[in-house]
Amino acid sequence: MRSIQVELEEDKTTLSQLRRCSDISNEISMLERQKEGDVEGLKDTISDNSFLLQKFDAYPTLRGDNYVNTIETLADNVRIKHENTREESDRASEELAQLQQTIGEKSALLSHNKRSLETLKAREAALCADDRGVQKIRRVINAVRNFEHQQLDTGVTVVQNDMEPQKLLEHLTERIGEYSAEDTPESIARTMKKLKKMVSRLEFKRQPKPHVRRKHTF
């Protein structure tokens, strides 16, 4: 009787273990099915987003049983390439900003130079007009050259076509000093007065006037 009870207890223990093993087996089967479903889901997700992964030259394939490492490796590769792309984009943005600043500075300088050039052209045109100072001074130089050519025995004139007004005035003053007041022709006296007036005006105009714009007249 005692032995029968012992056998019954052993049978109960064995039956309990078998039931527990059956439950574990069922859980394993359920996890296997869940794993297969998850793998198929991962494959579908990768397939649906393959066009995004191709931007990073990533072409993953799920092989073997170590799916987690495969996905983690894929994520790390994409993250690294994304960070590199972002750094390149930041550098390009900085270079673009510097180029835009340089272009802006050059454009402002170019506009300033254009305005200065137009101002200089306008001044040149005004000075070279028939009734303005440059032409008047040229006429005076021609008259003086003709006078010297006629009066000097050598036939060589001291006054040159490109002589500056101030030097011309000094030369004429020196020459006139060689004559007496009675011998000085009235035409030369009038020319001297005009030339002195022109020189004084030219000297006045050469002085910088940053805040006042004056109309040049001769």
How high is the pLDDT of residue 66? Answer: 64
Residues of the chain with pLDDT under 50: 182, 210-218
How high is the pLDDT of residue 9? Answer: 73
Phi-psi region of 129 (alpha: psi -120 to 50; beta: other; left: phi over 0): beta
* Cβ 104 vs Cβ 90: under 8 Å: no
How high is the pLDDT of residue 211? Answer: 46
How high is the pLDDT of residue 187? Answer: 59
How high is the pLDDT of residue 153? Answer: 58
CA atoms of 180 and 158, how far apart (whole Å): 21
Burial pattern 105-124, b for ≥16 Cβ within 10 A else e, equals eeeeeeeeeeeeeeeeeeee
